Amino acid sequence: MMTSRLTLLTILLFTFNVNAQDLDTVTISGRVMDQNGAVVPGAAVHATLVKTNLKRTVTTDAEGRYRLIQLEPGIYAVRVSFPGFALQEITNITTVSGQSVQLDATLLPSDLVVEPVVITDAATPVVDTKRTITGATLTSRDTESLPIASRSVLDLLFTLPGVTEEPLSTRDLAEDRNVNYANTPEEAGTFSLAGAPAYSNNLTIDGLDNNDDRAARERFQPSLEAVAEVQVITNQFSAEYGRASGGRVNLRTRSGSKQFHGRGFYYFKDEALNANSFRNNSLGLPRLPLIRLNIHRSEAQPSPVARRLESLLLAELSRSMTAVRKQWDGRPHS
C-alpha cells in the first residue's frame, strides 16, 4: 500500500515538473494529412532550430498527430516526410517562451510534385488559443530597439499593459536629495503587475528563482545584452504557475549560435540631459551631479583585433573622461 502511494506521488510530481517547464519552452504540434484529407501515420517530422542547427525528430501516431515539446524559443524550420510523398518544409517559424504552435501539414504524392514543397514565412497565430494566460513577451529585438536610459532590462516592463510603478517604489530614490532612507519601506519593490503589490510578484531567470523576498525585488539582474526575452504573465491562476498571487517575470538569457556575432556600444549620461526629480523640484533643490561614460563590447569568439581595438578605445575614453572631470571641477551643477 505504501509503495503504491509513493509511486503515485512520484508520477504526480513528475507530471507537475514537466508542465512547469512549459513556461519557458515551446511546443510545436499538429497533424499530417494527404491531399484527400486522410491521416498519414508514421510520417517523420523534423524541427530544426535555425541558429544552432539543433534538430528534434518525432513520428506521427495512428491519427497522424505529432507533438514536439521542450523546444528552445527561436526561429524553426519544420520538415515533414513520408515514403511516396514529396517532402514539405515550413521555414521561418518564429516562437517565444511559453508558446504552443499548431502546425498542420498536407503532403502531396511525389509523382505529382517534382521538387519539395517549401513554405516560407509561416504565419503563426498572434493569439495562442490553447493558453488562458494574460501577459506579453519582449523579444531580443524589442530589448535592443527600445530606448532605455537606465540600461535596466526590468524598466522595459513599464512599456507593457498592466504594469505600473509601485506606490512605494524606490526606483528613483537615488536621485532625490535630503531623503531619510531609514523611513523607506523595506518591502517596497519597483513595479506592480495587474494591480497586485510588488511582494506578490515571482521573478525568475531561465525559470530559476530570482526573488529577494525582503526587498520585494530581484536578487540579480543580468546585462541588457545577455537577455534574449522578457516574459511577463499578469495572472497566475493556472496550476502550472503557483507560488505568487501577482504576476510572473522571467528573463531568458541568450545562448550560443552557429554564426560569429558580436555587439558594442558607447554609453554616455550627464545630469544636463536629465530632468530633475519631482521631490527635488518641490524642495527647490538642484539635480545631483552625474557623469557616466561606458564602453562595452561582447562577441562570440573574442579576436586579437577586437581586443586591440578595445584597448585603444578604452585609452582614448580614459583621456576624455580625465579632461571632462578637469573642466567640471569648478562648474556649478543645477
CB 232 within 8 Å of CB 139: no
- pTM higher than the cut 0.85: no
**Same domain as 104, residue 18:** yes
Q: How many domains does the chain have?
A: 3
| Residue 178 lies inside a defined structural domain of this protein | yes
Give me the pLDDT at residue 12, please: 46
Say how many C-beta atoms besides its own lie within 10 A of residue 189's C-beta.
25
Domain final residue pick, 72, 94, 119:
119
CATH number of residue 181's parent domain: 2.170.130.10
In a domain, 206, yes or no: yes
My answer on whether 229 and 165 are in the same domain is yes
Nearest to 135 by CA among 209, 232, 9: 232
Residue 65's pLDDT band (boundaries 50, 70, 90)? very high
Instruction: For residue 11, name the pLDDT band (cuts at 50, 70, 90).
Output: very low
Mean pLDDT computed over 124-151: 73
- Give which of 23, 22, 25 is closest to 233, Cα–Cα: 23
- The answer to whether position 97 is within a domain reads yes
Residue 83 in domain: yes
Is residue 301 domain-resident? yes
Q: Within 13 Å and on the Cβ side, how many CA atoms surround 275?
A: 5
| Same structural domain, 108 and 185 | no
pLDDT score recorded for residue 81 = 92
Residue ranges making up the domain that contains 22: 2-119
Same domain, 105 and 142: no
- Express each pLDDT in 99-109 by its tens digit: 888 899 999 88
181/239 same-domain check: yes
Q: Buried (b) or exposed (e) across 114-135, using 16+ Cβ within 10 A?
A: eeebeeeeeeeeeeeeeeebbb
In a domain, 334, yes or no: no
> For the segment 268-326, what is each residue's pLDDT rounded down to a tens digit?
777 777 788 787 888 888 887 777 777 666 665 555 666 666 667 667 766 766 666 56
Both 6 and 115 in one domain: the answer is yes
